[in-house]
Structure 1
């Protein structure tokens, strides 16, 4: 187990509840003699924090653990920037669903202290990189922990594109787009589009068509190390976009290619020892609980 001494704090902007939780965390860390470092944007939420301030890049280099306070979107953004630092990340949920941020404010101090004392489980999640090229030249790049999505943007027109996996042609399709999802993202946008739920430990990628113009088009699960290439049809009248975790958009043109591959760095997610993926699904997705025997 890692020894956590320097604890980084990152919070979602614009939330009174996040500030309240950060104050509780800071008070607890100070009382337990941990060295807390607050990310520079998060520091603007509180003028009286009294902590060392560091940039998002530096905080990953100097801290042994990063605690992210917010929703899954906040953790997704932090994960993309911190993956290369190889620093473990612990999420405190002050958002909605909270598949990744699984500590609740109700048991904040107890759960976080248990983690700091070595009572936790760790799992690694892979990310995807998207390289957009025009006439062979790079024009855009993005990283995603959940999904990379080809979509029409503001246009209502379908997108025509070719899909290749590991250099092999899969199909030509006309649809509203394509979701390329990691197991982490399989409980997010991919699920809403009819994709399968994948256990986080799977080394696989799912390709989910969005409203395809054929009833026979279905999600495809491929090896996690596959190279996926999407080529935008030359006859498209619209300029579709590539979205990474819904937080970064790259505008594409007819003829552009998007190559998607696994990122060489993984993120390290920390959970309390009672973390259970299926229990999280039951709670967040409204699955039925076990029927008690009479």
Structure 2
């Protein structure tokens, strides 16, 4: 008997191709006798099913495995909601790059079947927690599997901030912002900003300046358990934004303090047997074979 009996499904509902793959996945799972729980928004996009329906967070309590049908963004969103429940995630790619969602639509029956039969690789990834305080009072918080980004928001204007790591002053920087990225996010926005690619097993965070005014300001890789503090400069004309995985967003005020640290809960990603990080880089980033 499979260790995964109750299977949660989350789909990219605005994508017709993802809905087609969801229907195919549901038919396969029902045929194999598994119990299916559909996330509520996903259920609205897939009519005619007889599966249980649940809120996204409730899936973490009801399911042994959650399968995400969509792109990396869909999996990032699921990870933020479900990491605290320790339920593993498996991704079927209906997006573009697919660094995290590594099963192709034509492999659904074969690869999902193998995973459910116990033939899989499990990988642990950490997330980042972020909080913003103003005059000592909390004004917002968020979490990210890829990155926390400080940026100017609506206006293209340099911002000034101070950076502290583990209580030690690093620098005052004027730039378009700063990316604080996990190894998972090192192949995303941080890569386009000139940051290094980090292997997912690394316990590290990379800080990538966005168009810094000082040309000697370069990416820094530090220990993953570090505590980061950003103090928004009081001379800023614009009000910088802080975003989590490009999704959750907060507007800061001059003098606000942004704190970032590793989330206590880790995410388990499930991959089919044979998953290879370097092969993924070759195929997704166009490296030569």
TM range (shorter): over 0.9
Moved over 3 A (4+): none
> Equivalents in 2 of 1:279, 1:170: separation in Å?
36
For the residues of structure 1 that align with 2:46 and 2:7, how far apart are their CA atoms?
17
1:1-294 → structure 2 map (5 Å cutoff): 3-289=3-289
**Does structure 1 conserve the Cα–Cα contact (< 8 Å) formed by 2:162 and 2:233?**
yes
Deviation by residue 1:40-63 (Cα, 9 ceiling, x = unmatched)? 110000220111111111111011
1:254 and 1:90 mapped to 2: Cα distance?
41
TM superposition shift of 1:2: 7.4
What is the CA deviation profile of residues 212-237 of structure 1, one whole-angstrom value per residue up to 9, with x for unaligned ones?
00110000000000000000111111
User: Following the alignment from structure 2 to structure 1, what is the Cα–Cα distance between the partners of residues 15 and 156?
Assistant: 34
Contact residue 80 and residue 145 of structure 2 kept, 8 A: yes
In the alignment of these two chains, the number of paired residues is: 289
TM-score by length of 2: 0.99
| Alpha-carbon separation, structure 1, partners of 2:237 and 2:208 | 23
Distance in 2 (alpha carbons) for counterparts of 1:59 and 1:249: 24
The TM-score, its normalising length taken from structure 1, stands at 0.97
* SS of aligned partner of 1:44: helix
**Structure 1 portions without partners, runs of 5+:** 290-294
Tell me, which stretches of 5 or more residues in structure 2 are unaligned?
Answer: none
CA distance in 2, matches of 1:155, 1:46: 40
> What are the Cα deviations for residues 84-110 of structure 1, in whole angstroms up to 9, with x where unaligned?
110010000000000000000121110
SS in 1 for 2:42: helix
**Structure 1 residue 136, shift from structure 2 partner:** 1.1
Instruction: Please provide the CA RMSD for this pair.
Output: 1.0
Q: Distance in 1 between matches of 2:123 and 2:91?
A: 13
